[in-house]
Structure 1
Amino acid sequence: MSDQFDVIVIGGGPGGYSAALYGASAGLNVALVEMDALGGTCLNRGCIPAKAFLETAAVKRHVDHAAEFGINSGGPATVDFARTQARKQGIVDGLVGGIAAMCKGRNVEVFNGTGSLGPGRTVGVAMNDGSKAIITGTNVILATGSVPRTIPGFDRGGPIMTSDEVLDLDYVPSRVAVIGGGAIGCEFASTFADLGAEVTILEGAPKILPGLDKDVAKVVERSFKKKKIALKTGIMVNGHEPNDSGGTKVNFGDGESVEVDAVVVSVGRRPLADHLGLEGTAVVVDERGFVQVNEFCETGEPGVYAVGDLINTPQLAHVGYAEAILTIKHLLGESPMPVMYDKVPWAIYCHPEVAWAGPGEQQAKDAGHDVVVGKHPFKFNSRAQIVGETEGLVKVIAKKNADGTAGQILGVHMVGPWVTEQLSGGYLAVNWEATVDDVAEFLQPHPSLSELFGETVLSLTGRNFNG
């Protein structure tokens, strides 16, 4: 193994492996240090496994409603969750193997161990086989990611799980409490409810999905209630009392409780800087555990960058990808544009799905904009009716021109069928600072779900042929 590299990346998650591969494609000599499996949280314990479970839930929904399409399935669908788990693991293993193959193909040297940064961009690696390595980089990128946050009184074990443990289940618990009604919590709640579990969401904020545009959040809340998900909002969780059957009673609010077989603690994630060392460097970790960086993801130590969940930016894999590209371009002296965090695409994969870019209506107003808003529901969309998924809407927020007409598109917010696959047009409109008149010229295929975005924008021109 070499001991001198152009770039050393510590952490093999989305931010880390993409920096390594992108740097190698630019001709750099790259080392990648990862203490666990390549792919990080996203691939092994996050995005990919969770979405595999959500797809199983979607298949069950389709089978349950097959008779509406003239398909007789022969009775209610049953769930073999051990098979679901095996399918999920097969997907994960294949993707992990793919990253390893790409690293090999681009001559990225992979060190299987825990990396710590010292002075002079020297990285010590405690190898998983018990040996040690010392390597030095002209540049170092810190990308060690994050781990689930926990709450007092809810230590992992038995019925108490974080996203790490719940993704290893090979059965569907009959009764599930999800502590936390944010994006991840709502995805787990949606999954287990669609698979037949009784689900309760316990959320401290007044509503689930706090911060979401209110019209979008209302659709999710209404849909969850139809699934018989119990929503307990504006409450404090006070602890739990295990029972003899392996479950527990979760206490919350003013003397309320719920008996469940599993508890999923989903209260966010904290940055994982625990093993980075950093002694003798000018890298600064703030009181919340985030590594401090500037707009180019540079730390206070020359030649050292940090990306992904390790820094205080949106905890999204695709943001990690963007930061990885930014750092490589910057260290190559290519003068890249910093990531515009207020305009990144967001996606929540619960049912119904949620996707957006740019501010919601209230956020835009709070920022001082006078706005014009267009909204169209999926219930009148022909493709939505064909696929049997008519819940949801598209909402477009635009600046109001001096003459009262709609101008620049500020935000695009969607909730409904496959909106995570439809957002790209809205994302481009927001980031190109396109106007309503610009986007109204673009054709949308018919029949398609994406027509709704086009029609919503068209309505903001003051004319429309539908709705």
Structure 2
Amino acid sequence: MSDYDLVVLGGGPGGYAAALYAASAGLSVAMVEKEKVGGTCLHRGCIPAKALLHAAEVFRTVSDAGAHGVKLPAGVEPEPDWPAANQRKAGIVNQLHKGLSGLLKRRKVTVVNGHGRLTADGAVSVDGQSLRGHATILCTGSVPRAIPGMEIDGRTVVTSDQSTNSDADRLPERVAVIGGGVIGAEFASVYTDLGVSTTLLEALPHGVLPIGPDRDVADVLSQSLKKRGTSIHADARVGTLEHADSGVVVPFETARGSEKLEVDQVLVSIGRRPVTEEIGAEEAGVRIDERGFVDVDQATMQTSRPGVYAVGDCVATPGLAHVAYAEAVVAVDHVLGEQPVPVDYGKVPWVVYTHPEVAWSGMTEAEARTAGYDVVVHKHAFAGNGRAMILGETDGLVKVVAQRDGPVLGFHLVGPWASELLHEGYLAVNWEALPADVGHLIHAHPSLSEAVGETMITFSGRSLHG
């Protein structure tokens, strides 16, 4: 039996954030991880996926070099080097893993390798070893959801986890992406830009990002993908896959009728489910809801068992690494006897790293109107922005949703570096700033962020360039 102030079950973003934050507050911490610290985000999700998206961006830029005054040798056409892209991705992941492992060691966090589970007496059992903490934090993560009857073989039918860890020597020539949410849209963007014949099949009425961002913003991404060659089918019901010597046949139905599509690979990207089975929850008195999520008090992240907390993908909150970080801080602050500031889940920052990028915080226009607000909306396109023109990336817009004579309710944008432009709007939403508060601030010229300032100014009834 080993005693600690805190035992953390799971070494993904929520887990290692809790361990590092608690250790920095002087607590003794043990963290249990059955694979590698860093979790899905570092090894199979956020980091490797964005590395592949950047590879696609570089390929797209090189392919368009002539328009920027850069000549390629006569007769030379750029082509994707999939093994090299994956090798660079793996190098980034390995470097970050080493850095995280070193940081945990410097903070004196005891990392225990193995499968951990709660016990009835409140301890955590790891392969016969028992760890007891004054508090325990569960962060057991998530795995890709599957479609009944659609067997994942890791070669012709894959999940996003497998796509980011591909050891294939070349890209598939034809891909069907099932699911147009964040994961599906990002992979469709990668494959399309690298020259793969890409078909996106989404069951909901809007084919790209059907849930989440404002429709005006999501539609810009949809149009951009189509313009670059992605075939998008909304309201698509996929049938049982048929395997053939030449590939995989994907039958699907839309309002136009039944169709069949033959591809080399099918990527199933219909979301993720929590990993809460076999963690000893029932024996420990930790309540799991009907969807498999750990039930928590979101003000403290405490479960139905006092002293046991849960954060990250195993709870029914936005499945984002930075949300897991924030929840870890809430849980540890409560362990320390402080008054934590709960996460405001309606205002967290969201980013989709497609081309063009999509980002948002707060309410969509439709959500604000449904909530009963008297809404004022202004938009500013990147088409006339000098910096966007210099970059050659003019697809996109900034959209601000505000209460009439009141604060900013939602901030939505699509375009170049939306991921980095988001945070000014995120602060405005969370601080309940008036559009005029932001509009009075100076935005550097030429910059992409000018589009934010120009949008805020228009709420005054006046404008500069718009």
Q: TM-score, normalised by structure 1?
A: 0.96
Deviating beyond 3 angstroms after TM superposition, the runs of 4 or more aligned structure 1 residues are none
Partner-residue secondary structure (3-state), 2:432: coil
Deviation of 1:79 (Å): 1.2
Instruction: Name the counterpart of 2:85.
Output: 84
Provide the rounded CA distance (Å) in 2 between the counterparts of 1:48 and 1:121: 34
Q: Is the partner of 1:397 in helix, strand or coil?
A: strand
Shift of 1:459: 0.9
Mean Cα deviation higher: 99-108 or 168-177: 168-177
Identify the residue that residue 100 of structure 1 maps to in structure 2. Answer: 101
| Structure 2: 5+ residue stretches without partners | none
Q: Take 2:71 and 2:278, find their aligned partners in 1: how far apart are those partners?
A: 56
**SS of residue matched to 1:270:** strand
Q: What residue number does 1:284 align with?
A: 287
Partner of 2:243: 242
Specify which of 124, 135, 141 is matched with residue 139 of structure 1.
135
1:114 and 1:275 in contact (8 A); partners too: no
> How much has 1:380 moved relative to structure 2?
0.4
Q: Does 1:269 align with 2:272?
A: yes
1:120 aligns with 2:121: yes
1:136-190 deviation line (CA, Å, top 9, x unaligned): 0100000010000000221111300001111122321100000000010000000
Q: Identity rate of aligned residues, in percent? A: 51
Q: Secondary structure at the match of 1:357?
A: strand
**Aligned-partner Cα distance in 1 for 2:382–2:456:** 14
The secondary structure found in structure 2 opposite 1:36 is coil
Q: Select 1:310's aligned residue among 308, 314, 318.
A: 314
The residue number in structure 2 matching 1:195 is 194
Letter of the structure 1 residue corresponding to residue 103 of structure 2: M
- What amino acid maps onto 2:151 in structure 1? D
Mapped partners of 1:444, 1:26: distance in 2? 38
Query: Take 1:282 and 1:458, find their aligned partners in 2: how far apart are those partners?
Result: 54
CA distance, structure 2, for counterparts of residue 279 and residue 188 of structure 1: 37
Q: 1:120 is paired with a residue of what secondary structure?
A: coil
Counterpart of 1:167 in structure 2: which amino acid? T
Residue 424 of structure 1 corresponds to: 423
Number of residues of Structure 1 aligned to a counterpart in Structure 2: 455
Equivalent residue of 2:7, what SS?
strand
Q: Deviations over 1:232-290 (max 9, x none)?
A: 11021001111113x20101104311110010000000000123112432210111100
Inter-partner Cα distance in structure 2 for 1:181 and 1:241: 22
CA contact (8 A) 2:358 2:415 kept: yes
Q: State the shift of 1:61 in Å.
A: 0.5
Deviation per CA, 1:173-228: give whole Å up to 9, x if none. 10000000001000000000000000000100011211231111110111011011
1:445 and 1:4 map into 2 onto residues whose CA distance is 54
* 2:396 paired with 1:395: no
Tell me the equivalent position of 1:210: 210
Helix, strand or coil at the partner of 2:398: strand
Q: Give 1:430 deviation, angstroms.
A: 0.3
For the 8 Å contact 1:121–1:138, the answer to whether it is kept is no
CA distance in 1, matches of 2:49, 2:283: 39
Listed as ranges, the matches of 1:319-330 within 5 Å are 319-330=323-334
Give the counterpart letter for 2:344 in structure 1. Answer: M
Question: What letter matches 1:122 in structure 2?
Answer: A
Residue 164 of structure 1 is matched in structure 2 by 161
Tell me the TM-score normalised to structure 2 length. 0.96
Letter in structure 2 aligned against 1:60: F
- Between 409-418 and 438-447, the greater mean CA deviation after superposition: 438-447
Aligned residue for 1:12? 11
The amino acid of 1:168's aligned partner reads N
Alignment partners' CA distance in 2, 1:275 and 1:193: 39
Question: Aligned equivalents of 2:268 and 2:447: distance in 1?
Answer: 38
| RMSD after superposition | 1.0
Q: Which runs of 5+ in 1 are unaligned?
A: 127-131, 402-406
Contact 2:281/2:288, CA 8 A, preserved across alignment: no
Structure 2 distance, partners of 1:282, 1:123, is 13
From 383, 389, 400, the equivalent of 1:379 is: 383
Q: State the alpha-carbon separation in 2 of the partners of residues 257 and 182 from structure 1.
A: 22
Separation (CA, whole Å) in 2 of partners of 1:297 and 1:257: 47
- Is the 1:163–1:265 Cα contact (8 Å) retained in structure 2? yes
Instruction: State the distance in 1 between where 2:447 and 2:109 align.
Output: 42
**2:9/2:137 contact within 8 Å kept:** yes
For 1:435 and 1:255, the matched residues in 2 are separated by: 50
| Contact preservation (8 Å) 1:445, 1:451 | yes
C-alpha distance in structure 1 between counterparts of 2:312 and 2:218, whole Å: 27
Instruction: Report Cα offsets for 1:64-120 as digits up to 9, x if no partner.
Output: 100001101233211111111111111001111111101100000000111100123
> In structure 2, what is the Cα distance between the partners aligned to 1:318 and 1:249?
38
Classify the secondary structure of the residue corresponding to 2:133: strand
Cα deviation, residue 321, structure 1: 0.3
Contact 1:118–1:279 (8 Å) recurs in 2: no
Mapped pair 1:448 → 2:452? no
Residue 371 of structure 1 deviates from its aligned partner by 0.6
Matching residue within 257, 260, 263 for 1:260: 263
Q: Could you tell me how far apart the structure 2 residues matched to 1:465 and 1:422 are? A: 20
Deviation at 1:389, TM superposition (A): 0.2
Distance 1:416 1:349 in 2: 10
CA distance in 2, matches of 1:36, 1:168: 15
Deviation at 1:463, TM superposition (A): 1.6
Q: Which amino acid aligns with 2:447?
A: S
CA contact 2:276–2:292 (8 Å) conserved in 1: yes
